Amino acid sequence: MADTALWTPDALEAATGGRLIGARASATGASIDTRTLAPGDLFFAVRGDARDGHDFVPAALAAGAAAAVVAQARAEDLAAHGPVLAVPGEGADPVLAAMTRLGAAARARTAAQVVAVTGSVGKTGTKEALRHVLSGQGATHASAASYNNHWGVPLTLARMPEATRYGVFEIGMNHAAEILPLTRMVTPDVALVVTVEPVHIEHFPSLSAIADAKGEIFAGLKPGGVAVINRDTPHFARLLAHAQASRAGRIVSFGEHPEADVRAGRIVLRPDLSVVDATVMGQPVTYQLGTAGRHTALNSLGVLAVVHALGGDLARAALSLAALKPPVGRGERTALELPGGTAWLVDESYNANPASVRAALATLGGIETGPRGRRIAVLGDMLELGAAAADLHRGLAGAVEAAGVDLVFAAGPLTRNLFEALPVSRRGAVADASAELVEPLLRALRPGDAVMVKGSNGSRMGRIVEALKARYAAPTRRDAAAS
């Protein structure tokens, strides 16, 4: 539990328009999930797709919530369980509306410099990298996990302490016009677009439409703010037009393009790290990145562009990147202790699309295997790709070959298209669901192997990661990096 109050009772009532019934205690945090709620948290009884948060109010109050934010119509009954903040409203979810108002109040009361990050691929990793480097330069508040949607963004804002120096917010979407209200809520000083790829393409008529949706992030910029854009994307001109139409006072680009303001001159890729020689607004910077992969190295240029735009200590930020480690499910490495030796697990199971799978395969190709070791890719279906889904899966065969992957294990009807496009020598096993691959993979694994697991969340590839860790991960060596 935090030592200081995040929200006093009076501030809560003023920001939400609600009325506290029962004990008046300050809140030290905010939550929408009783499973992770800490004593002192304010519990928002938001309505989910399947469940109504009001059903969990008794459990939240029993767990020590400072108060539960509830719809006015439900307040009288729920007040019997403890203090509640009754909020007005007759819309689809008055509690979510109240949380949004509280988030807006949090943004208004702080003098923090705020960054908003979006992109088809790499936005969470980039957000975590910004959290990492800015935390060394002042009190930093950032989105938890991938809290980047209509409830994740206001919840993250509501959790932001007034004394925050830097705020980092991830903003996502899968339809047009979803970023616009979120970026206006965040009102960033700096807005960053990492990249544009065919993610959620089934909801868009074209890649250009996805670029336009990502470009919405610049509409929320503070007057005179900074727009940061990937110069290497084919959609740079389209994103640039959105930035120019915004209130941005400056536009900064990054990448390997010769005209990029933050440019990589050389990237040296190692199995467990990268070394980057870059020029940041004319200033030469060489730094080591504690994560592998060209895509991560390129995104680190965007990180430094943001630090420069904020007026932060660029040298200190570059130095701190050496200690950066990948988030769980996004490249985390674990030593697997097999009989007779060690294999390595690369957990990329959080999500997948064609661009991120190609990047993960390329990273797998750079891992040094042991004697008789092989590179094994365990891939699940990439979802929300529309009518081109089968072709996009089949089209990964070239990336598998280019990475020198020895065996592919495929889960799902879409990934079967890739499996059947591979030569027989590269085929490990294929199944309709991830759970059916566990035993074939465990039987095939041997010392010296490097195995990478990736797929869309709906493919449930995390089950395979959990099975491998449960069987072979040594507690003392878990999370170690391959070397």
pLDDT surpasses 80 at 481: no
Structure confidence at residue 203 (pLDDT): 85
Q: Which residue has the higher pLDDT, 145 or 206?
A: 206
| The two three-digit tokens of residue 368, written as one number | 């040094």
Structure confidence at residue 475 (pLDDT): 58
Least confident span in 213-217, 262-266, 413-417, 472-476: 472-476
DSSP character at residue 54: G
DSSP character at residue 352: -
Structure confidence at residue 269 (pLDDT): 84
pLDDT surpasses 60 at 210: yes
Least confident span in 83-87, 144-148, 378-382, 413-417: 144-148
Task: Tell me the pLDDT tens digit for each residue of 175-200.
Answer: 899 999 999 999 999 999 999 987 77
Structure confidence at residue 273 (pLDDT): 86
Residue 17 and residue 304: Cα distance in Å, rounded? 40
pLDDT surpasses 70 at 63: yes
Which are the contacts of 40, defined by CB distance < 8 A and separation ≥ 6?
1, 2, 25, 27, 28, 29, 64, 65, 66
Question: What are the distances in angstroms from CA 265 to CA 259, 282, 286?
Answer: 12, 12, 10
Structure confidence at residue 277 (pLDDT): 97
Helix (H, G, I), strand (E, B) or coil at 343: strand
Which are the contacts of 207, defined by CB distance < 8 A and separation ≥ 6?
196, 197, 198, 201, 235
pLDDT surpasses 60 at 1: no
Question: What are the distances in angstroms from CA 386 to CA 120, 188, 215, 433, 446?
Answer: 16, 33, 22, 20, 37
The proportion of the chain whose per-residue pLDDT surpasses 70, expressed as a percent, equals 97
Mean pLDDT, rounded, of the chain: 94
The proportion of the chain whose per-residue pLDDT surpasses 90, expressed as a percent, equals 84
pTM over 0.95: no
Structure confidence at residue 476 (pLDDT): 42
Sign of torsion, CA 181 112 319 305? positive
Task: Tell me the pLDDT tens digit for each residue of 298-312.
Answer: 999 999 999 999 999
Task: Tell me the pLDDT tens digit for each residue of 351-362.
Answer: 899 989 998 999
CATH topology of domain 332-472: Protein-Tyrosine Phosphatase; Chain A (3.90.190)
Task: Tell me the pLDDT tens digit for each residue of 107-152.
Answer: 999 999 999 999 988 899 999 999 999 999 999 999 997 899 999 9
Residue 299 and residue 377: Cα distance in Å, rounded? 24
pLDDT band at 480 (very low <50, low <70, confident <90, very high): very low
CATH homologous superfamily, domain 9-101: MurE/MurF, N-terminal domain (3.40.1390.10)
Question: For the chain, what are the domain ranges?
Answer: 9-101, 110-323, 332-472
Structure confidence at residue 477 (pLDDT): 40
pLDDT band at 34 (very low <50, low <70, confident <90, very high): very high
Task: Give the end-to-end CA distance of the chain in Å, rounded to a whole number.
Answer: 38
Residue 233 and residue 135: Cα distance in Å, rounded? 29
Give me the mean pLDDT over the 419-443 stretch.
97
Task: Tell me the pLDDT tens digit for each residue of 228-278.
Answer: 999 999 999 999 999 999 999 999 999 999 999 999 999 998 867 899 999
Q: Which residues pair with residue 192 across a beta bridge?
A: 117, 228
Structure confidence at residue 329 (pLDDT): 84
pLDDT surpasses 60 at 478: no
Structure confidence at residue 3 (pLDDT): 58
pLDDT surpasses 90 at 24: yes
CATH topology of domain 110-323: UDP-N-acetylmuramoyl-L-alanine:D-glutamate ligase (3.40.1190)
Structure confidence at residue 91 (pLDDT): 75
pLDDT surpasses 90 at 22: yes
pLDDT band at 483 (very low <50, low <70, confident <90, very high): very low
Answer whether 326's CB lies under 8 Å from 332's CB.
yes
Question: What are the distances in angstroms from CA 313 to CA 310, 319, 467?
Answer: 9, 10, 43
